[in-house]
Structure 1
Amino acid sequence: SVPRRTLRSVCGALVKGVISATSWFCFRGLSASNNRNREDSWFKSLFVRKVDPRKDAHSHLLAKKEDNNLYKIQFHNVKPECLEAYNTLCDQVLPSIHADSAYPCELVGTWNTWYGEQDQAVHLWRYRGGYPALTEVMNKLKNNKDFLEYRKERGKMLLSRRNQLLLEFSFWNEPVPRDGPNIYELRSYQLRPGTMIEWGNYWARAISYRQHNREAVGGFFSQIGNLYMVHHLWAYKDLQSREDTRNAAWQHEGWDEVVYYTVPLIQHMESRIMIPLKASPLQ
């Protein structure tokens, strides 16, 4: 029989050998895996586009550089029985602020929603000079008795109100007064966070497909209020003209690609068909 001491020695040697072999194979496997990972990473780096970090804000990349316009859009939900009186009040007061050179602001357009949220008024203002101009207007209106009386009367007619501060896309037209009659469509898009630059890149090309009937009025993106919000403002002679114009866009090569790539960027979208009030520069 084999002595116990010898048997223990043999078994110990075998165990050490197994452990050593296992460790070696694990080490070789780990090394090979690391090498493959490094090779895969290097290989992928040849084809994957690396995004350079940017220090510019979206507003600097997308907004117009040659001017410093800030826009405010207001949504007023009016008591149904007060809508006519509300419109009359707006037609009396808003043009006076627009026409007064002491106020660095302009009334771009004012509308009632025809299709969409009912009994709603939408006002769009432009402040030439950005935030300082906005602050100057707000401070001056605090001492404007006619405006304070307007706000007091307006408050009795409203169910709710909200607003947003906007910048205009560099590739859109600046809204300018136009003769009517027209209907206006405000298409509002809530984008997925982080997709504003991508949206702008596609629409910088897409806008050329939608200029043939002068339907493109203005394009804006939010700075304060609901963020990652885009508003496109269009003008049409009537609803049938809108339908014909939108269908014609599909005949242009490239429009389908824009729609295909921008739809996944949208979380929510809304369309309002609006009728201008008498005081609106956009008729």
Structure 2
Amino acid sequence: MAASLARLGRFARPLATRAVGTTSAHLDNESWLSKLLVRKIEPTKESHSRMLSDKEVIYELLTHDVKPQHNEEYLVNYQNSVKLVHDRKLQCELVASWKVSVGDQDQCLHLWKYTGGFASIDNARKVLTVDKEYTTLEKTRGKMLRARNLQFLLAFSYWPQIIPRAGGNLYEIRSYTLKPGTMIEWGNNWARAINYRRNNDEAYAAFFSQVGRLYNVHHIWCYPDLQVRKETREAAWRMPGWDECVAYTVPLIREMDSRILHPTSFSPTQ
């Protein structure tokens, strides 16, 4: 019976700590009930952005749904836009650019990094909105799109530093919509969970939203191919402690989505 309860506890909603009361002190730390308890998050007056991110760097994630007949033309247009922005030296740089191969078809994602906080974003927009060459490219590109979305993100401080990868990789972006008020709890558990996923250097980047869809988290992983992805994920489940991290974080999620990405020819990370 205890084994059955343990399996149930892996994905059940964790019980509130106060519901157990003083009896929890007498439970073995490895018991099935102790794994159901949410780790205590101390009350704080700090915003979660200050607690979870330690840099004044803003990331911009652009999502473009491209009309199928314009895929090649769109990529040429966007590459020209990237070159123009870099030439203007606006405290921003393209970090990565991907095409979705599994998930939302005919979709492209572009990740930009702004140094200098939101002030650098304000300055870049002021410069580019009066740049005729840039606005012409943007107007032309708009006719090729079915939809577009923009988010401003902060990077989780406990995630490994973002480093460009050499060619031949695929990426997976796993996007989560969390329940409001659970971001610190998510970060608290993933600060431990990431230690189970560093052995193969697959952790590329992780962000939480500041502007746009809120309580949105993106974890981006890098693999040589789909088979290695499968083997790496299965290996994590064999490591003691990984299942506990999943048990704590799954109840915090409202929605989740996974997309397989391949870098564009002009992406800084391949």
TM-score (norm. length: structure 1): 0.80
Partner of 1:227: 214
1:86 corresponds, among 66, 74, 82, to: 74
Partner of 2:48: 58
Alpha-carbon distance, 1:88 to partner:
1.6
Partner of 2:249: 262
Q: Find the residue that maps to 1:186 and give its secondary structure.
A: strand
**C-alpha distance in 2 between matches for 1:214 and 1:51:** 29
CA distance 1:274–1:55, shift in 2 (3 Å): same
| One-letter code aligned to 2:133 | D
Alignment of 1:191-270 (within 5 A): 191-270=178-257
Does 1:273 find its partner at 2:260?
yes
| One-letter code aligned to 2:66 | V
Partner of 1:30: none
Q: Find the residue that maps to 1:83 and give its secondary structure.
A: helix
**C-alpha distance in 2 between matches for 1:123 and 1:138:** 17
Alpha-carbon distance, 1:173 to partner:
2.0
CA distance 1:50–1:137, shift in 2 (3 Å): closer
How many matched pairs?
A: 238
**C-alpha distance in 2 between matches for 1:191 and 1:153:** 36
Which protein is bigger by CA-based radius of gyration? 1
1:188 corresponds, among 169, 172, 175, to: 175
| One-letter code aligned to 1:141 | L
Contact kept, 8 Å, 2:41 with 2:185, in 1: the verdict is: no
Q: Find the residue that maps to 1:233 and give its secondary structure.
A: strand
**C-alpha distance in 2 between matches for 1:278 and 1:83:** 13
Contact kept, 8 Å, 2:84 with 2:134, in 1: the verdict is: no
Contact kept, 8 Å, 1:58 with 1:196, in 2: the verdict is: yes
**C-alpha distance in 2 between matches for 1:50 and 1:190:** 22
Alpha-carbon distance, 1:224 to partner:
0.8
Root-mean-square deviation (CA), in Å?
2.1
Partner of 2:85: 97
**C-alpha distance in 2 between matches for 1:60 and 1:276:** 31
Q: Find the residue that maps to 1:174 and give its secondary structure.
A: coil
Partner of 2:7: none
Alpha-carbon distance, 1:45 to partner:
8.7
Partner of 1:113: 100
Structure 1: any 5+ residue segments left out of the alignment?
Answer: 1-40
Does 1:159 find its partner at 2:146?
yes
Structure 2: any 5+ residue segments left out of the alignment?
Answer: 1-17, 26-38
Partner of 1:24: none
**C-alpha distance in 2 between matches for 1:91 and 1:153:** 13
TM-score (norm. length: structure 2): 0.83
1:181-235 C-alpha deviation (Å, 9 max, x unpaired): 1101110000011111110011001111111111101110001111110000111
Contact kept, 8 Å, 1:91 with 1:277, in 2: the verdict is: no
**C-alpha distance in 2 between matches for 1:262 and 1:84:** 40
% identical aligned pairs: 48
